[in-house]
Amino acid sequence: MEAAHESQLTALGRIYGRVVRALPVGLALAAGAVLRVWMLKELFQVNGDTLIYGGLAKNLLLHGQYALIASDGEVYSTLIRLPGYPLFLALCFRVFGMENYASAAWAQIALELLGCLLLAGFARRIAPPELKAGAALCTLWLATLCPFTASYTAAPLTESPTLFAMALALWALARFHARPGWSSALWFTFAVSFAALLRPDGALVGVALAPALVIGLRRGDGAGAIPRKKLVRMALVCVLLALVPFGAWTWRNWRVFHVFEPLAPRYANDPGEDTHPGWESWVKSWCLDFVSTYDIYWNVPGGPLDLSKLPSRAFDSPAQYAETAALAQAYNGNGQDLTAGMDAQFGRLAEERIEAHPLRYYLWLPLGRVADMWLRPRVENLPIDLDWWVYAHHNAETRFSWGYAGLNAVYLLLGVAGLCLRPRFSTPGTKTRPWGPRFWPWMLAYMVLRSALLLTVEAPEARYTLECFPMLFALGGVGLYGVFRRTGNRGPAGKTIKGCR
């Protein structure tokens, strides 16, 4: 009787322990769900790029064509967007009803919360043994309560699925090093392929993280043991599987348009469409922030060019101002159609400005645009005026925006703190070589590569750096728990934690 009673107590103790451990996780997920559902209620809207993706999805379902519909009702093939997100929307429309964009937002909420769990699992893998549980929980809370990523679940756009794909890639990467096998390798392959199918720049995930899949992998040591031949075979199969969808997409584009296009055009144009290189170069010679992107870049062609909204840095002299004003007047008077002649004139203006200030064009403005994308308040999809910094116009919005800027800075600083700890993969219970490869250099490589790519962008948007946040969550979780413990990179007994060197 006593033995049975003790056994029951032990079982109850285990159940209680599991509940206690699961409670903070459940609370974090519940808080994240509440935040996203509230944003879905307040911020959900269907316009712009969403309608383009939705049009592609509808035509896939209704006509079996990857196409859009012109103003005259004609269906025409296109390659301006990669097929990943249209296929995602098509699945939602098939299951929940045509043009049910809200279903996509609900699916994105589920995917992002799952991604938060995956990031917590990744942080647990890379944190030192003394910090594992705490770092994982901190990462989960940082990810679930981040308003910047949460707000995009309410927008049927590529951001949320991309964030999920990155979380899945990181989780599969760490899982593969813990126990190399086909399941982890295939999940990683799916994640990097899905990210690249959603956005052309998603290919950077594979470029930055794929080497980390095999570099530093142990052979013949505990759970990480894997024969070299099997590793080579797995790598070849995964590479081929990753290339299959892009091979099919490239072949389709060649067959339909007779062009080699494995991803999507830089300026989202179909073959034969004018990309307005003179206009693009001129905008790049002065554009520095999202306000100019919204007020000027997105309006032309097809919308008004308001000279009063151009910043003073768009003109180097009164003569340039006069020439720009004449061009704006001609463009607005021509039905807002940017002709080849007007584009050439903008190009000549750009050449003049570049020749006079080459460092401004090739160095200072690109660096300023990247800084704007990393540091500005991420209020682009909130009902806040673009000139949020003009305190006299809207006191509350300005204070809120500065608060958002501060919160963004906190996430960045926590990510830096995590990098300073230099976390590395560890395998508890492995006595011979408990420490595995460092993953932080590959995460840093991704953020550097992405920032380098953004140096080439002429019209900055803060959402272009949002894809770095899954890594900031994981690194920040490790750094934040280190701050909570007030030990930096010291263990509880004052000994250096080797995994954080």
> Residue 497: CB partners within 8 Å, gap ≥ 6?
128, 130, 131, 489, 490, 491
**For 234-276, what is each residue's pLDDT tens digit?**
889 999 999 999 999 999 999 999 999 999 999 999 999 999 9
With bands split at pLDDT 50, 70 and 90, how would you rate the model's confidence at 420?
Answer: confident
With bands split at pLDDT 50, 70 and 90, how would you rate the model's confidence at 482?
Answer: confident
- What pLDDT sits at residue 17? 54
438 phi and psi angles, rounded to 5 deg: -85, 130
With bands split at pLDDT 50, 70 and 90, how would you rate the model's confidence at 14?
Answer: low
**For 26-76, what is each residue's pLDDT tens digit?**
999 999 999 999 999 999 999 989 999 999 999 999 999 999 998 888 999
For residues 425 and 427, what is the distance between their CA atoms, to the nearest angstrom? Answer: 7
- In order of 239, 252, 261, 345, the CA distances from 248 in angstroms are 15, 6, 11, 40
Pick the closest to residue 40 from 155, 208, 175 (CA basis).
155
Q: Which of 78-82, 122-126, 488-492 has the lowest mean pLDDT?
A: 488-492
Q: Quick check: 430 and 499 in contact, CB under 8 A?
A: no
- Two structure tokens written together for 432: 């011979």
Task: Taking residues 323-331, report their average pLDDT.
Answer: 95
For residues 133 and 25, what is the distance between their CA atoms, to the nearest angstrom? Answer: 11
* Residue with the larger pLDDT of the pair 145 and 499: 145
CA angle in degrees (0–180, nearest 5) for 32-112-444: 105
The identity of residue 489, as a single letter, is N
Q: Which of 13-22, 24-33, 436-445 has the lowest mean pLDDT?
A: 13-22
> Residue 186: CB partners within 8 Å, gap ≥ 6?
238, 241
For residues 321 and 323, what is the distance between their CA atoms, to the nearest angstrom? Answer: 5
